[in-house]
Amino acid sequence: MSPAGQEAPWKDIARRKQADRASRIPSQWQIPSSALPKDPPQAKDGPQNVLDAPRQFLSKAEISITESDSVTSLLAAIAARTISAKEVAQAFSHRAAIAHQLTNCITEPLFDQAVQRAQELDKYLEDNGKPFGPLHGLPVSVKDTFNIVGVDTSIGLASLCYKPAKANAPLVDLLLSLGCVIIAKTNIPQTLASLDSINNVFGRTMNPINRLTTAGGSSGGEGVLVAMRGSMIGIGTDIGGSIRIPAMCNGIYGFKPSNGRLPYGGQALGGNGVSRTSIQAVAGPIGRSVQDMDALLKEIMPRANFWGEDCFPTSWSSYRQLKAKGSGEAGELVIGILRSDGNCALLPPISKLLDEVSSTLQSRPNIKVVELATPKAWTKSQSVMSKLMGVDGGAVMADLIESTGEPLVPWMSTRFRKGKPQPLSRVAELQAQREILEREMLRIWTQDDAQGRRTQKLDAIICPLAPHPVPPIEGYNAVGMTSSWVLFDYPAGTLPVRSFKETDLESGKPLGGKALSSWDEKNRELWDESKVDRRVYLGTPLSVQVVVPRLQDEKLIEVMGWVDEVVNSKQGREGGKARL
């Protein structure tokens, strides 16, 4: 704490950091104050959707480049020299700068470095007659947890500002080796442990679809920048839902791989998850289509073990023409619908969404849909997950915050306390509980015959990402429907389906039944018309989560592609249909 009357050190650091960030946006890219949304957001101002607002400040060429059909088509255009990597980097940097001014999604603009890198790639192509790598010129962004040499990895903490990284994270080096161009680093929440991306250094990232609702976290800036087309692909991390939840909140796609498939090292050490001691977070992509994520993963996955000490060799064959082929008796793809984790009941629009997706999938003869009972292991998993996440007592993060006198942001103020690290015996006990739950969950995927031989009976699960729609700012609570899949190390992805409509409101119809838990009590408040105006959800994205067994990451992309093609071709959601 600072002496009375003396300013806390973090405030001056934050002022300087924000000024430095602003100085890296060229003056000609500054947008007029009249174009900026009103802050703080208020219900009377409405959602203030700015998703397409950057178009009014871009040239036709920049719009064409940044709204490219796909990663594949953009890379083909660069390789054919129809457009240069420099033109692409400049266009995406310009759009990213505008997106940032509208939403506060960037922590470290890297526009000058991006253009310089792109020029080097153009020269390589000219001199050698072939691209530098398979992702030559692809504009990407990364969450502000990944080290980039010469750039801060502050994770929104004043104590980590002005301490630039001395080496790249392995995944950054891998991306660069493939020809990627890194446009920016993006905003995150204080402690990296909340679902609303706000910190004292950079402020709050706003949802471009509806400013009254959360942009998600902890890869919130990444989700926003990709949704606003300031980056072609974003790289986030996920330990409790930090890739999938921002994808849900911003109406795009997210992919949480199994552990060991993408390099994770070389990130800011905040103590969250305590690395291999408790629960291991994973890195993964956020994109605007299944195809785009596949285009990235097919190049990264087979090379990951060359770069990441935490990765193992793996193959990846990109899908082209999907054939729903699975574990059904006639080769059908068997998809289970899992409706609740037993801790929170679904609010009506989420239950309705699952009904719609289930009905649409059942209309296909080569897909079999089955309703699944909630496994007890899934219900128990959130408690075990929370305990494992906190085995370090939050000491490292608390010390970093306290060292400059930072206050806790609103969401963390009632949830974060410095505790004592758990003894090794307690960690071992929790890991033993985890093993039992993992073994129990295997039964949802398999069946035994009379002779005790075991075969797979289920190919994928579709379930909610949350029991509620995209909530108002500070409204996110339970994460059991996303964090559990990290505990079990199952690949899981976010797939947008449609927007929240007037018919989803059910105005005047109260929620029946009783709360299942303290988590559910908070969940029910999000539908309580005495506490929230349900119209806040209008126009926000409604998404589902797709899950497959451990290490079947390639299968996840395939199933997501299938479900996306079936569901979104029928729903006709603008921009949502997978390009297969």
Asked about 163 being catalytic, the answer comes back as no
Angle between helices 424-442 and 480-487 (to 10 degrees): 100
Instruction: Compute the distance between CA of residue 178 and CA of residue 307 in angstroms, rounded to an integer.
Output: 12
Q: Please give the helix or strand (H or E) that residue 454 lies within, else none.
A: strand 454-456
- Is cis: bond before 218, omega within 30 of 0? yes
Of 140, 138, 144, give the one whose Cα is nearest residue 157. 144
Annotated catalytic residue: which of 218, 258, 340, 484?
218
d(CA 482, CA 238): 9
Active-site annotation holder among 17, 86, 143, 185: 143
What is the spatial distance between Cα 201 and Cα 506, in angstroms, rounded to a whole number? 40
- Among this protein's residues, is 218 annotated catalytic? yes
31 among the known binding-site residues?
no
Q: Is 363 marked active-site?
A: no
The total of other beta-carbon atoms located within 10 Å of residue 401's CB is 26
Any residues with CB less than 8 A from the CB of 385 and at least 6 apart, and which?
Answer: 240, 279, 480, 483, 484, 486, 487
Residue 478: name the closest of 278, 343, 279, 342 by CA. Answer: 343
Report the distance separating Cα 526 and Cα 158, nearest Å.
Answer: 33
Would the annotation count 198 as a binding residue? no
Among 219, 242, 289, 358, the one annotated catalytic: 242
Sign of CA dihedral 125, 320, 555, 252: positive
Phi, psi (deg, nearest 5) at residue 70 = -160, 165
> Is 221 assigned a ligand-binding role in the annotation?
no
Residue pair 292/557 in contact (Cβ under 8 Å)? The answer is no
The tokens describing 578, both together, are: 């997978």
Helix (H, G, I), strand (E, B) or coil at 175: helix
Q: What letter would DSSP give residue 165?
A: B
539 annotated as ligand-binding: no
Query: How far apart (Å, rounded) are the C-alpha atoms in residues 362 and 74?
Result: 35
240 in a known ligand binding site: yes
Query: How far apart (Å, rounded) are the C-alpha atoms in residues 258 and 163?
Result: 31
CA-based radius of gyration for the chain: 23
Report residue 295 CA to chain centroid gap: 17
Say whether 218 counts as a known binding-site residue.
Answer: yes
User: Can you tell me the distance from the alpha carbon of 543 to that of 481, in angstroms, rounded to the nearest whole number?
Assistant: 13
Q: Which residues are catalytic?
A: 143, 218, 242
Q: Residues marked as binding for substrate?
A: 192, 218, 239-242
